[in-house]
Amino acid sequence: MIVAAAFCPAPPLLATPLNGAVPVLPELRAACREVAAELLAAEPELVVVTGSGENTTRLADAGPAGLASFAPGAGLSPGGLPSSVLIGCWLLEEIGYLGGRMLMSVACAEPVASCARIGAGLADEARRVALLAMGDGSACRGPKAPGYFDQRSLAFDAEVERAVRAGDLEALLRVDPELASSLLATGRPAWQVLAGALAGVPVETHVRYCDDPFGVAYLAASVRLRRP
């Protein structure tokens, strides 16, 4: 049974060892920690960390998150997880979670129905399952953004924000994979896994961060279930 879920941004800069001397965006990190802590407050037996990757596959959990591929020369451990899942693992470790976790990569091009189906199957993975969906909105929100400015990014991210704030998870299943991909919106597969996992379940959300300080749309939100 799914007992809680969360949307969490997955920029590498969330991991403080990658920041250099001065922590970047401490307010984003604080919001993500709160979201993760609320997820754990539901006392899950298993936390599923999901995010986009090259393939759709369950990943071997090789222990502590290795960040060296982002920052050679910084004395970090190597690691081969997809970025989104890797940052999710780092976040859980950062708040001291040592319990069971399952790591799930979902291909950037995975069709919507397939994402939803993957999500629907997660409830059976343990008696109490929490789902941490790692990923971001568009990366095209200004001329300095990683993907430069794309006018379509504004409406795209606005609809995702509306759906999350309203707890309208079904709307996330209408996010177009091709548009998401062209806007470098890495969160699409994970959002749709989450929507599939909680299909038909009334939820309320608490958005703790929604901004685009580097031209990438970051959204951190807790999802609480309103089951009787």
Cα–Cα distance between 131 and 223 in angstroms, integer? 9
Q: Are 42 and 4 in contact (CB under 8 A)?
A: yes
Cα–Cα distance between 198 and 170 in angstroms, integer? 9
Taking CB under 8 A as the criterion, the residue among 5, 32, 172, 184 binding another protein is 184
Cβ closest to another protein, residue 82 vs residue 119 = 82
Number of residues binding to another protein, judged by CB under 8 A: 20
Q: Say whether residue 99 binds another protein (CB under 8 A).
A: no
Q: Say whether residue 71 binds another protein (CB under 8 A).
A: yes
Cα–Cα distance between 24 and 68 in angstroms, integer? 18
Q: Say whether residue 12 binds another protein (CB under 8 A).
A: yes
Buried b (16+ CB within 10 A) or exposed e, 73-90: eeebeebebbbbbbbbbb
Q: Say whether residue 49 binds another protein (CB under 8 A).
A: no
Taking CB under 8 A as the criterion, the residue among 31, 65, 115, 139 binding another protein is 139
Cβ closest to another protein, residue 46 vs residue 70 = 70
Q: Cβ of residue 70: shortest distance to another protein, in angstroms?
A: 5
Q: What track of x and - describes contact with another protein for positions 146 through 165 (by CB under 8 A)?
A: xxx-----------------
Q: Cβ of residue 33: shortest distance to another protein, in angstroms?
A: 21
**Which span sits near another protein by CB under 8 A: 43-51, 106-114, 123-131, 145-153?**
145-153
Taking CB under 8 A as the criterion, the residue among 75, 96, 143, 200 binding another protein is 143
Q: Say whether residue 109 binds another protein (CB under 8 A).
A: no
Given the rule CB under 8 A, which residues bind another protein? 11-12, 18, 20, 69-74, 78, 80, 83, 139, 143, 146-148, 184, 186
